[in-house]
Amino acid sequence: MKHPPLIIMLLLVITLFALVGCDADHYSLAGPVHIVLSNRLYDAQGNDPALASYYILQASGPKGSTLGPLTIQSDSYTLHNLPIGQWQFNATSYNSDDQPLLCGSHSCSVGPSGSLIQLHLDQHVGSGTLEIECQWNGEQTYGDCTLKFTLFNQINAVVATQTKEVGSASESAFFSIEELDSGIYTLELLLSCLGEPLAGCSETVRIVANTPTVAPVQLLIGLIAQESSFIITEAAGFIIDGHITSDTTEYTAGQPALLCFELAQGQDVEVDELNYRWYCDGVLLAEESGKSLEIAAVLAGTRRYDVIVTDHISGGIGSASTLVSAWVEPSLVEH
């Protein structure tokens, strides 16, 4: 033999593999994971308590491996040297007052070449308090009066309703709800005297964990204020009944969408002769004034769209609401 040392070395390697085999207990590999946190259920700015200030990230992996809790300031983060295998990632966003906002989780397989995942924070966390103080001009009311308070969730289901008896000389009333699940709601108020509606309003309110949401409301007799910007519309006409249709029932993030207002049967008005105001989560879409609303790219998460329709000739008024939901499918990219 010309190379006995080489042959001896190969024999030793073969013997070692025969003894050890390919049991993963005798070796380990690791890889990186890049995580992008999607926090789109809230569109918050400035000092808004719904604005995410930081995130808490935790993970569990193969054979009892754990990571965190880690406090990260960015919505994009890379973790290095994770043991390869199946991992579960959990994240929660917090505001500047250290109150939790949203949470989410995602599972993926980590390989030596790395992985890229998008973790959706799509579950509201905790509960808060809603406090509503209503005021109106008592000199314009008469007889026995009632003030009805109704709160709807994002699927238009009634969450809470209260009716208070107020005297004709009263000028204010107070509503409070404790332990209200965090999320986005629609508030409706209606002041009536002797069974006749005199004033009302509708606006979007948001509940953040362990945080009181205080909404002072000024009711104007003979008028209805719609949404949080209190756009005033006459309420003396008949009710225009209709609904919003969409071009599809399922959307993906970035896909265009078309919403249309359609009249219910038996309405004595023409849909093309009505005036329209469209809202997204209570914010007026000032450039949209037709019966249809074109959304160039649907955002991930859930948005509530409202339309207020009026007929200046007859004085009729009506409204309709719909939810548009879209999610970015979590992706796993092996490098």
Same domain membership, residue 220 and residue 138? yes
Asked whether residue 6 is domain-assigned, the answer is no
Is the per-residue pLDDT at 24 higher than 80? no
CB 307 within 8 A of CB 241: no
Q: Strand, helix or coil at 247?
A: coil
Give the span between the Cα atoms of 326 and 38, in whole angstroms: 12
Same domain membership, residue 291 and residue 221? no
The residue among 318, 300, 306 whose CA lies nearest residue 263 is: 318
Among 183, 204, 236, the domain-final residue is 236
Asked whether residue 3 is domain-assigned, the answer is no
Same domain membership, residue 319 and residue 270? yes
Predicted TM-score of the model (pTM): 0.54
In this structure, what CATH number is given to the domain that contains residue 57? 2.60.40.1120
CB 58 within 8 A of CB 68: yes
Number of domains in the chain: 3
Asked whether residue 283 is domain-assigned, the answer is yes
Same domain membership, residue 173 and residue 120? no
Between 110-119, 173-182, 213-222, the lowest mean confidence (pLDDT) is in 213-222
Q: Strand, helix or coil at 17?
A: helix
- Which amino acid, one-letter code, is at 16? L
Strand order in the sheet with 242-246: 242-246, 257-263, 292-295
Among 219, 236, 253, the domain-final residue is 236
DSSP letter assigned to residue 323: E
**What's the pLDDT score for residue 308?**
83
CB 35 within 8 A of CB 105: no
Same domain membership, residue 144 and residue 207? yes
Q: Which three-class secondary structure string do you get for 71-97? A: EECCCEEEEEEEECEEEEEEEEEECCC
**What's the pLDDT score for residue 193?**
86
Look up the domain containing 241 and give its range: 237-327
Task: Tell me the CA end-to-end span of the chain in Å, nearest whole number.
Answer: 45
Among 236, 269, 294, the domain-final residue is 236
Same domain membership, residue 87 and residue 151? no
Name 26's Cβ contacts closer than 8 Å, sequence gap at least 6.
20
Same domain membership, residue 252 and residue 230? no
The residue among 231, 252, 243 whose CA lies nearest residue 306 is: 243
Asked whether residue 15 is domain-assigned, the answer is no
Between 30-34, 186-190, 331-335, the lowest mean confidence (pLDDT) is in 331-335
Same domain membership, residue 136 and residue 227? yes
Name 326's Cβ contacts closer than 8 Å, sequence gap at least 6.
251, 252, 253, 255, 298, 299, 300, 301
Same domain membership, residue 185 and residue 112? no
Asked whether residue 37 is domain-assigned, the answer is yes
Asked whether residue 197 is domain-assigned, the answer is yes
Asked whether residue 14 is domain-assigned, the answer is no
Asked whether residue 200 is domain-assigned, the answer is yes
Write the pLDDT tens digit of every residue in 182-206.
887 888 888 888 888 888 877 777 7
Same domain membership, residue 271 and residue 283? yes
Same domain membership, residue 278 and residue 206? no
Give the span between the Cα atoms of 83 and 112, in whole angstroms: 8
DSSP letter assigned to residue 25: G
In this structure, what CATH number is given to the domain that contains residue 228? 2.60.40.10
Is the per-residue pLDDT at 225 higher than 70? no
Same domain membership, residue 232 and residue 133? yes
